[in-house]
């Protein structure tokens, strides 16, 4: 009979294809049919399909066209930005309760339409759990309610551009959108291909929940070029990106110089270790490997690390579990070529393959594969191939296993398997990653921060900590919005320093020649050159070294040696060292007051007040050392979770011209109190107070090499700090061109940036440094730490 399937039960079980589900498919299909399968832009609370726009097809897993979406043009971007600016005004004027009410209603709307959301995500090949999205909405509704109570000194950024790459999941998209809305911002979403349909549907559901028109806009098209156009619009105040590193780098370079702060979550490019110790439950660990490694779409790339004493047992279990597993569909045809090349190279280096079946001739399929016997330096370990291919390396001791886990340039997450709780916690603490899962994997909840390290990102998503990227202190100044300057990035900072020396200058008339502090040692510049320190009237006060790249390199080498030990010191021990520094500063306040007066020309009374406030500020940081700590959130899953702040590592700080001593100790105190090492570049205009402060440092208990102070050309030293791969963060007060250079350069290697245009802020910055506003110190310490989440299941 017509319409009757000829497939047998055996055929169905062999193919394991999805059967027809008329109810769920009709829900998603009816929504698409309602829009005639051509989805327009979502601007000002409604769909719009402007004429003369190109379209792009959205395909399902079988390469069949699901629908088409409109590609936005410049005028559409301008319309979305204008709508968002108006929406922000309306949204930010609502009370916290009113905003929370909208997000709570969104949770119920998502519950009602969960089937449609799930089906649409499946059609567009974007994994998402409606339950996870509902949890996000409920969690951030509570933070919308509490914003003014718990964060009274912070205000929303304004219009936020949220950009995701092609294969980013809907969960990561909403992990950006919902906290931005909860804090009172308006949002412009630039989705990737796989998240376009869910983003448009969710925008419509937001309107059903009562979100004011214009607060959420979705513009579709090529996300890389479109995101740059959105960020360049003067009404956009902040840009955050989630996705692959290559797209993020291109976006950062396109937006550099437009005065838009940017943050990046590069989880999709991250390589994460899956570590099995000999004390693990091997059956559970192998089950975790099978669940994690051989899916069609993975949030991260994984490398399996197994202790040698249980290597044979793990390999035997893998062979048994992988027997009969079916081939996995590849995302693109080019993935097959990359996999074949990686397997061939690994076999040439002596690796052996565990495969569920021989590779098939079909380009779009590949069997689950484990590459055993690889060296840590192998390309397949450093950058694993796509698809269901898992590199495996072995280690002898637990310490070696942690070292291998930190071998990757990324630092997104790690999964460790052991029944020894002490080993689990010690390993979790030593791994340089943002999330550690103990005897589990891929567990996420918005209550805990998700913070990438090194090349995996420079911002925090989730938890209370993730809210601050969408807020700024009420006293802070934004970067000036203007077109980028014409800069030769390759030559930035390479110009020879030009220090004017008065005609007829007699070197013997200079009262003093200062040394800089590099790696705990007083020294001249490596180049042997010096600079004249001039009084406000032009008279030469002293000479100081003209530091350069090699001085920065020497300072960082010393910092690398001392910073791990300083970070491991107890907060109480770090506190006592800072109290000692404040006490030494107090003993020399007369000399430093005279130095500030001589250098800047301000009255002596004002200089004395700056020194007194500097002593007080250092004491504040000494007191905060053991007060800033993480917590133990209560995730909905069974088990326990920890959230702890950790030091960034080595920071570079280019100091402002205003309040040369107070700004120095404020920034130094924040970095050192949290366990970091710091390389500081004093004001090029007023270096004398910083050079005098070196004597205070040397007389204190601060370890040598933890703090370096290098004088010289600001641009040259900025360039040296930006290009050093060990520097994890740069705090910059300087020119607009310097801000542009750092935004362009510090995406590879990726760094945390805190940028200020000193030329614009100079008149107001002095007031900021002397302010007793608690949000100033809170902002400083939050900029000096990264967050680590540790999941410990109990069942």
- The model's pLDDT over 192-225, given as tens digits with 9 standing for 90+, comes to 888 999 999 999 999 999 999 999 999 998 877 8
Instruction: For the chain, give the number of residues.
Output: 795
- Quick check: 434 pLDDT over 60? yes
Q: What is the dihedral of CA 569, 575, 577, 582, to 10 degrees?
A: 160
Is residue 89 over pLDDT 90? Answer: yes
Contact 652, 710 (CB under 8 A): no
More confident residue, 777 or 99: 99
Write out the E strands in 448-588. Answer: 450-451, 453-454, 460-461, 471-473, 516-518, 521-523, 530-534, 540-545
DSSP state of 256: T
What is the predicted pLDDT for the residue at 22?
36
For residue range 374-433, list pLDDT tens digits in order: 888 888 888 888 888 999 999 999 999 999 999 888 889 999 999 999 999 999 999 999
Asked if residue 657 lies in contact with residue 762, where contact means CB atoms within 8 angstroms, the answer is yes
CB within 8 Å of 612: residues ≥ 6 apart:
589
Total Cβ atoms within 10 A of residue 749? 16
Is the pLDDT reported for residue 583 higher than 50? yes
Using DSSP, state whether 677 is helix, strand or coil.
strand
Supply φ then ψ for residue 292, to 5 degrees.
-90, -45
Q: Which residues of 206-218 are buried (b: 16+ CB within 10 A; e: fewer)?
A: bbebebbebbbbb
pLDDT in tens, 504-548: 445 555 567 778 888 888 887 666 678 888 888 778 888 888 888
Q: Sorting pLDDT into bands at 50, 70 and 90, what band is 474?
A: confident
CB 414 within 8 A of CB 401: no
Cα–Cα dist 54/141, whole Å: 37
Q: Of the candidates 536, 540, 527, which has an alpha carbon nearest to the alpha carbon of residue 500?
A: 540
Q: Cβ distance 362 to 340 under 8 Å?
A: no
Please state, as a whole number, how many other Cβ atoms lie within 10 Å of the Cβ of residue 448: 26
Average pLDDT in the 58-66 region? 80
- If DSSP codes are grouped into helix, strand and coil, which group holds residue 294? coil
Structure-token match 């007051």, residue found: 593
Contact status, residue 445 vs residue 637, Cβ threshold 8 Å: yes
Q: What per-residue string of b and e applies to 93-104 under the rule 16 or more CB within 10 Å gives b?
A: ebebeebbbbbb
* DSSP-derived secondary structure letter, 457: B
Average pLDDT, the chain: 87
Predicted local distance difference test score (pLDDT) of residue 187: 96
Q: How far apart are CA 335 and CA 333, in angstroms?
A: 5
How much is the pTM?
Answer: 0.90
Spatial distance between the Cα atoms of 459 and 436, rounded to a whole number of angstroms: 17
How far is residue 293 from each of residues 35, 323, 387, 441, measured CA to CA in Å?
Answer: 38, 15, 9, 11
Give the per-residue pLDDT at 172.
92
Please report the pLDDT score of residue 19 as a whole number: 53
Q: Measured between alpha carbons, how far is 658 from 461 in angstroms, rounded to an integer?
A: 33
Give the pLDDT confidence score for residue 227 in this predicted structure.
87
> 783 falls in which pLDDT band (50, 70, 90)?
very high
Tokens of 454: 């090194």
The string of pLDDT tens digits covering residues 332-352 is 778 888 888 888 888 888 889
pLDDT at 607: 92
**What pLDDT score was predicted for residue 543?**
83
Euclidean distance between CA atoms 601 and 589, whole angstroms: 17
Residue range 646-651: average pLDDT?
94
* pLDDT, tens digit, 9 for 90 and up, residues 708-752: 999 999 999 999 999 999 999 999 999 999 999 999 999 888 999
| Signed CA dihedral, 328, 332, 337, 341: sign only | negative
């Amino acid at each position: 009979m017509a319409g009757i399937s000829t497939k047998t039960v055996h055929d169905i079980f062999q193919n394991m294809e999805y059967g027809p589900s008329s109810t769920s498919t009709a829900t998603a299909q009816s929504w698409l049919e309602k829009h005639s399968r051509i989805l327009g832009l979502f601007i000002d609370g409604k769909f719009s399909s402007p004429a003369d726009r190109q379209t792009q097809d959205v395909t399902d897993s079988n390469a069949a066209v699901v629908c088409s979406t409109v590609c936005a043009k410049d005028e559409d971007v301008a319309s979305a930005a204008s709508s968002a600016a108006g929406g922000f005004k309306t949204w930010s004027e609502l009370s916290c309760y009113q905003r929370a009410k909208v997000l709570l209603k969104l949770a119920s709307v998502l519950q009602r339409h969960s089937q449609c959301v799930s089906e649409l995500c499946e059609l567009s090949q974007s994994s998402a759990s409606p339950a996870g999205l509902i949890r996000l909405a409920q969690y951030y509704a509570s933070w919308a309610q509490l914003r003014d109570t718990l964060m009274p000194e912070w205000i929303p950024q304004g219009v936020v551009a949220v950009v995701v790459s092609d294969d980013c999941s809907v969960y990561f998209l909403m992990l950006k959108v919902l906290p931005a809305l909860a804090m009172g911002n308006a949002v412009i979403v630039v989705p990737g291909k796989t998240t376009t349909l869910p983003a448009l549907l969710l925008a419509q559901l937001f309107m059903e929940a009562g979100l004011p028109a214009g607060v959420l806009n979705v513009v579709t098209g090529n996300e890389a070029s479109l995101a740059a156009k959105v960020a360049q619009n003067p009404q956009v105040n902040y840009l955050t990106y989630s996705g692959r590193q290559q797209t993020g780098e291109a976006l950062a370079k396109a937006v550099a110089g437009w005065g838009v702060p940017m943050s990046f979550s590069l989880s999709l490019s991250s390589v994460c270790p899956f570590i099995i110790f000999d004390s693990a439950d091997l059956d559970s660990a192998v089950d975790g490997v099978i669940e994690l490694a051989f899916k069609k779409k993975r949030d991260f790339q994984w490398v399996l690390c197994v202790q040698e004493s249980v290597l044979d047992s793990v390999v035997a279990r893998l062979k048994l579990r992988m027997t009969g597993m079916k081939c996995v569909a590849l995302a693109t045809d080019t993935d097959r070529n990359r996999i074949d090349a990686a397997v061939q190279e690994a076999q040439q280096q002596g690796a052996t393959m565990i495969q569920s079946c021989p590779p098939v001739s079909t380009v779009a399929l590949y069997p689950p594969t484990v590459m055993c016997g690889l060296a840590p330096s192998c390309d397949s370990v450093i950058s694993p191939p796509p698809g269901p291919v898992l590199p495996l390396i072995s280690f002898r001791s637990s310490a070696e296993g942690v070292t291998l886990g930190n071998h990757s340039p990324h630092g997104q997450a790690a999964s460790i398997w052991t029944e020894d709780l002490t080993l689990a916690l010690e390993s979790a603490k030593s791994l340089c990653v943002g999330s550690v899962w103990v005897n589990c994997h891929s567990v996420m909840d918005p209550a805990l921060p998700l913070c990438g390290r090194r090349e995996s990102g420079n911002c925090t998503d989730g938890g209370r900590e993730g809210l601050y990227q969408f807020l700024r202190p009420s006293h802070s100044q934004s970067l000036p919005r203007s077109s980028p300057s014409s800069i030769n990035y390759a030559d930035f900072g390479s110009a020879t320093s030009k220090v004017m020396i008065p005609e007829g200058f007699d070197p013997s008339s200079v009262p003093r020649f200062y040394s800089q502090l590099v790696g705990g040692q007083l020294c001249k510049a490596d180049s042997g050159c010096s600079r004249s320190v001039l009084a406000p009237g032009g008279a030469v006060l002293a000479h100081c070294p003209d530091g350069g790249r090699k001085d920065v390199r020497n300072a960082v080498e010393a910092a690398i040696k001392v910073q791990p030990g300083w970070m491991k010191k107890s907060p109480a021990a770090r506190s006592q060292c800072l109290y000692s520094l404040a006490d030494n500063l107090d003993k020399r306040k007369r000399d430093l007051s005279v130095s500030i007066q001589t250098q800047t020309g301000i009255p002596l009374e004002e200089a004395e007040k700056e020194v007194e406030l500097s002593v007080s500020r250092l004491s504040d940081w000494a007191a905060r050392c053991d007060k800033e700590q993480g917590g133990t959130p209560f995730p909905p899953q069974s088990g326990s979770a920890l959230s702890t702040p950790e030091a960034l590592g080595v920071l570079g700080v280019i100091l402002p011209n205003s309040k040369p001593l107070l700004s120095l100790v404020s920034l130094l105190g924040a970095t050192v109190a949290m366990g970091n090492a710091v390389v500081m570049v004093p004001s090029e205009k007023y270096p004398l107070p910083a050079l005098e402060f070196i004597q205070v440092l040397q007389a204190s208990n601060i370890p040598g090499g933890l703090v370096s102070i290098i004088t010289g050309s600001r641009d040259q030293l900025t360039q040296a700090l930006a290009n050093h791969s060990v520097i994890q963060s740069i705090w910059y007060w300087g020119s607009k061109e310097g801000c542009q250079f750092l935004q362009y350069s510090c995406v590879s290697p990726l760094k945390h940036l805190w940028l200020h245009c000193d030329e614009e802020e100079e008149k107001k910055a002095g007031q900021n440094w002397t302010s007793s506003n608690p949000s100033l110190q809170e902002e400083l310490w939050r900029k000096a730490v990264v967050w680590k989440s540790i999941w410990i299941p109990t069942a």
